[in-house]
């Protein structure tokens, strides 16, 4: 397998470090609009080669000694569909792995189809709120634009595996696993994300892309109910306190727009699907302030001197790069899926989860916990595709595939998951 990785930020760099320990691919081309970032990600492979601990024992010795030759760096503009397609063709790449923010989903998705390559992303095409009833009805939903193209992917016998990071991604694998092995009937599936991470020296320093965070937190959250279908609520609605495992403890979580709610009901039978994120009052108030000031807008505005800039891009430029915060971060992050239903006629409630300690991920991989937790899942998925354990065509989410091989391989990578009876 030859892979084109587009995006060499925190997640992209973590992907190179994780993939360097595995033998399933022949070559990975790392591409970014900033060539120096792509080159730095490739150089970071040297750090991954010298890593110790879980995951290295499954890697062939030849992989460690020659990993650097399996990576190369190039420059590409992710918005240039034709240039990306040509890069896929010239590099003989079987699959495009998209590690950019959601603005670039569609040009990369379309470039892969143009080039006859498979495609994998961690976030789906952007939504647009309903023009008249944004907090009651859906407009264009996350992923709608991609699913509209499913027939073309099927006709081309190519696979677009969408939404396969940690959330969405691993959370969706958990949902399918619960449906297959833990429940006879499911009343509700609720993805619940929380952390106790702190960042030394900053009053406000998101641990993930602020561009993406603003998008998902300020858009109307989507809820799915079997009798009603998809509908929306106001941002930060339905607060609840959820007790997260492994010392994180109780965190207040609120409704946030997220792909799982758009993906899970397509393949898993449940009466209700939700996504709630543990943001904290201060974080929510900061986001609300950005919205009040119009600083969440993506449309360019004219500033003194005549330059045209996007307010959201300015906010992102003023904040620290999440990829650089690892040395200042403390604590753990938890992604998981809470499921309520019945098994053998008796009520059952479980939380399937994956916790990453920032101290561990920094020591083992040199990547902070949130980006590392996102990055490991597409690498696992690529290995399943490369070995033929997962296969298919069209536009599919993780729910369309057998979950047990994914969870077993995640554990083999040295990052086990957990299950807690509620």
- pLDDT digits (tens), the chain, 422 positions: 999 999 999 999 999 999 999 999 999 999 999 999 999 999 888 654 544 333 333 333 334 445 558 999 999 999 999 999 999 999 999 999 999 999 999 999 999 999 999 999 999 999 999 999 999 999 999 999 999 999 999 999 999 999 999 999 999 999 999 999 999 999 999 999 999 999 888 878 787 778 888 888 889 999 999 999 999 999 999 999 999 999 999 999 999 999 999 999 999 999 999 999 998 888 888 988 998 999 989 899 998 888 899 998 899 888 888 878 888 999 999 999 999 999 999 999 999 999 999 999 999 999 999 999 999 999 999 999 999 999 999 999 999 999 999 999 999 999 999 999 99
pTM assigned to the model: 0.91
Please tell me the distance from the alpha carbon of residue 128 to that of residue 141, in angstroms, as a whole number: 7
Buried b (16+ CB within 10 A) or exposed e, 380-397: bbbbbbbeeebebebbbb
Pick from 330, 334, 336: which is nearest to 358 by CA?
330
Please tell me the distance from the alpha carbon of residue 121 to that of residue 114, in angstroms, as a whole number: 16
pLDDT in tens, 158-175: 999 999 999 999 999 999
Q: How many Cβ atoms from other residues are within 10 Å of residue 362's Cβ?
A: 16
DSSP letter for 67, please.
Answer: G
pLDDT in tens, 8-61: 999 999 999 999 999 999 999 999 999 999 999 998 886 545 443 333 333 333
Buried b (16+ CB within 10 A) or exposed e, 406-420: bbebbebbbbebeee
Question: Which stretch of DSSP H or E encloses residue 393?
Answer: none
Whether omega before 255 lies within 30 degrees of 0, making that bond cis, reads no
Q: How many Cβ atoms from other residues are within 10 Å of residue 204's Cβ?
A: 11
- Tell me the backbone φ, ψ of residue 278, rounded to 5 degrees: -85, 95
Please tell me the distance from the alpha carbon of residue 31 to that of residue 64, in angstroms, as a whole number: 22
């Amino acid at each position: 397998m030859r892979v084109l990785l587009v995006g060499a930020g925190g997640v992209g760099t973590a992907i190179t470090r994780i993939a360097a320990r595995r033998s399933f691919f022949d070559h990975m081309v790392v591409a970014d609009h900033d060539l120096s970032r792509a080159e730095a990600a490739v150089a970071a492979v040297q750090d991954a080669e010298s890593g110790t601990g879980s995951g290295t024992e499954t890697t062939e010795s030849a992989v460690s000694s020659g990993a650097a030759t399996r990576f190369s760096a190039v420059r590409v503009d992710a918005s240039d569909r034709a240039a990306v397609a040509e890069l896929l063709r010239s590099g003989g790449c079987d699959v495009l792995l998209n590690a950019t923010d959601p603005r670039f989903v569609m040009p990369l998705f379309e470039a892969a189809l143009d080039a006859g390559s498979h495609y994998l992303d961690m976030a789906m095409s952007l939504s647009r709120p309903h023009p008249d009833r944004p907090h009651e009805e859906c407009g264009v939903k996350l992923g709608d634009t991609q699913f509209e193209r499913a027939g073309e992917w099927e006709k081309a016998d190519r696979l677009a595996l969408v939404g396969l990071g940690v959330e969405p991604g691993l959370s969706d694998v958990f949902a399918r696993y619960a449906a297959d092995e833990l429940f006879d009937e499911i009343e509700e599936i609720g993805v619940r994300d929380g952390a106790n991470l702190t960042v030394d020296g900053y009053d406000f320093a998101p641990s993930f892309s602020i561009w993406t965070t603003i998008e998902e937190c300020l858009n109307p959250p989507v809820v799915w109910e079997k009798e009603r279908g998809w509908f929306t609520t106001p941002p930060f609605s339905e607060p609840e306190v959820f007790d997260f495992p492994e010392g994180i403890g109780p965190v207040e979580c609120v409704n946030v727009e997220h792909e799982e709610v758009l993906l899970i009901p397509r393949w898993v039978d449940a009466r209700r699907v939700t996504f709630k994120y543990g943001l904290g009052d201060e974080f929510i108030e900061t986001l609300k302030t950005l919205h009040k000031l119009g600083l969440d807008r993506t449309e360019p505005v004219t500033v003194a001197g005549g330059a045209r800039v996007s307010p959201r891009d300015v906010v992102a430029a003023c904040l620290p790069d999440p990829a650089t915060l690892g040395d200042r971060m403390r604590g753990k992050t938890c992604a998981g899926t809470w499921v309520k239903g019945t098994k053998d006629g008796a009520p059952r409630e479980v939380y399937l989860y994956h916790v990453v300690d920032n101290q561990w991920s920094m020591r083992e991989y040199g990547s902070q916990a949130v980006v590392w937790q996102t990055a490991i899942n597409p690498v696992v998925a690529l290995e399943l595709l490369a070995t033929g354990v997962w296969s298919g065509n069209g536009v599919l989410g993780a729910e369309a595939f057998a979950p047990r091989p994914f969870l077993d391989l995640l554990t083999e990578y040295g990052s086990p998951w957990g299950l807690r009876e509620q």
